[in-house]
Amino acid sequence: MERRAFLQHSGLAGILAAGSAPVFAQGTPQVKWRCASSFPKSLDTIYGAAEAAAKMVSDITGGKFQIQVFAAGEIVPGLQVADAVQAGTVECGHTAPYYYIGKDPTFAFGTAIPFGLNQRQFDAWWYFGQGKELYNEFLKEYGITSILCGNTGAQMGGWYRKEIKTVDDLKGMKMRIGGFAGQVLAKLGVVPQQLAGGDIYPALEKGTIDAAEWVGPYDDEKLGFNKVAKFYYYPGWWEGGPALHYFVGQKAYDALPPDYKAALHAGCAEGNTWMMAKYDAQNPGALRRLVAGGSQLRPFPKAVLDACYRAAMERYAEESAKNPKWKKIYDNYVAFQREQVLWFRVCENTYDNYMATAGQQPAAPAKKA
């Protein structure tokens, strides 16, 4: 069987079981790429997914295709990764596409939009709902192709110096918040700030900002936000299932042999699964430690969530009216979301909600012999 057919039909398990070296040993080039991450190494999960992907690529190809990952700031600042890929400074970057909404708000669909898809729903849209095709069509003008590589799951709503009891409490608040959500909150009086992960703590500590969101308990604990803000809110309605991607320069991607392209996609799929699984394993213990240490856990009041939802829908209508690139993806995305929400309401949510309270029920009395 020729090499490409082997890769396509045997699957990743078959490749690794057969041994990667024989598959790639004859006549395959040595390829070395640099990958600029938007994240510091200290955030081992969101940064680590890029390394997990790179390791898988190397393992599959017997070390013939190597990707070296550089943390934010080592080659370019974290919020300039897409520019570095577009310019050919690096062959690829691991990033959150919504960092680049200043170029076009349509970038947000690669990560998350407020009140959007959760992690499983996003993967379903990406692979089976035309998400991958529509998004990469949009990226063509930037000379980038995108491969899904990570998701944090639903995020927390962030850290605040004061309680949020009403919508009026948002007015004038300077908040670090990424992506499209800043534009939504601006409608409610928030002054959004977009800062890379490593810059958030000093800004919150100095009072340059009043609140900040990042990811969730595990990362937030590492970054020490609980030391400079007391109130920890949930849920992060702006990031129900935010995705990370390998942004790959189109020329670099096109130059890869077909087998290396397959290895790259397999590696990113590994990173995608790895990140979500690791966050799910780490977040519960981190949340317990934060609360035990004095952090005040609070749900956003429903009135606040409702106001944010209305502001988001208003902002989407505005963008759809003036931006055909946005509208093309948004119409597809929302139609897919409606079907997903219906399905999750019937089964997934019912099960999850029951399990959330099942352990609190009193134990059944023991039967008498």
The pLDDT tens digits for 263-272 are: 999 999 999 9
Residue ranges covered by each domain of the chain: 3-153+241-280
Ranges of H-type helices in 79-157? 81-87, 119-128, 131-139
| 245, two tokens | 């991607």
Work out the number of other CB atoms within 10 angstroms of the CB of residue 247.
Answer: 29
Rounded to whole angstroms, the Cα distance separating 211 from 189 reads 14
Average pLDDT, the chain: 92
pLDDT at 363 (0 to 100): 61
> In sequence order, what are the beta bridge partners of 248?
92, 145
pLDDT at 24 (0 to 100): 59
List pLDDT tens digits, range 94-142: 999 999 999 999 999 999 999 999 999 999 999 999 999 999 999 999 9
Closest CA to 349 of 108, 111, 154: 154
| 129, two tokens | 């709902």
26 vs 245 pLDDT, higher one: 245
pLDDT at 15 over 60: no
Which residue in this structure is represented by tokens 């000093």? 202
Rounded to whole angstroms, the Cα distance separating 130 from 126 reads 6
Pairing label, strands 144-151, 296-299: unpaired
* CA angle in degrees (0–180, nearest 5) for 338-339-341: 65
86 vs 178 pLDDT, higher one: 86
pLDDT at 195 (0 to 100): 86
pLDDT at 18 over 80: no
Closest CA to 212 of 177, 173, 238: 177
Residue type, 94: H
Sequence-distant (6+) residues with CB within 8 A of 48 are 274, 275, 278
pLDDT at 4 (0 to 100): 43
Tell me the pLDDT band of 6, cut-offs 50, 70 and 90. Answer: very low
pLDDT at 21 (0 to 100): 45
**Model's pTM, two decimal places?**
0.90
List pLDDT tens digits, range 28-49: 899 999 999 999 999 999 999 9
* CA separation, residue 232 to residues 31, 250, 295 (Å): 45, 41, 7
SS3 68: strand
Sequence-distant (6+) residues with CB within 8 A of 65 are 31, 33, 57, 58, 256, 260, 263, 264
From the candidate CATH numbers 3.60.15.10, 3.40.190.170, 3.50.50.60, 1.20.120.530, the one assigned to the domain spanning 3-153+241-280 = 3.40.190.170
Mean pLDDT on 306-327: 98
CB 161 within 8 A of CB 231: yes
What CA dihedral angle connects 256, 261, 263 and 268, to 10 degrees? 120
Tell me the pLDDT band of 89, cut-offs 50, 70 and 90. Answer: very high
Sequence-distant (6+) residues with CB within 8 A of 19 are none
CB 272 within 8 A of CB 150: yes
pLDDT at 13 (0 to 100): 44
Rounded to whole angstroms, the Cα distance separating 121 from 279 reads 17
Among the listed ranges 25-29, 92-96, 116-120, 322-326, which one has the minimum average pLDDT value? 25-29
SS3 114: coil
pLDDT at 369 (0 to 100): 56
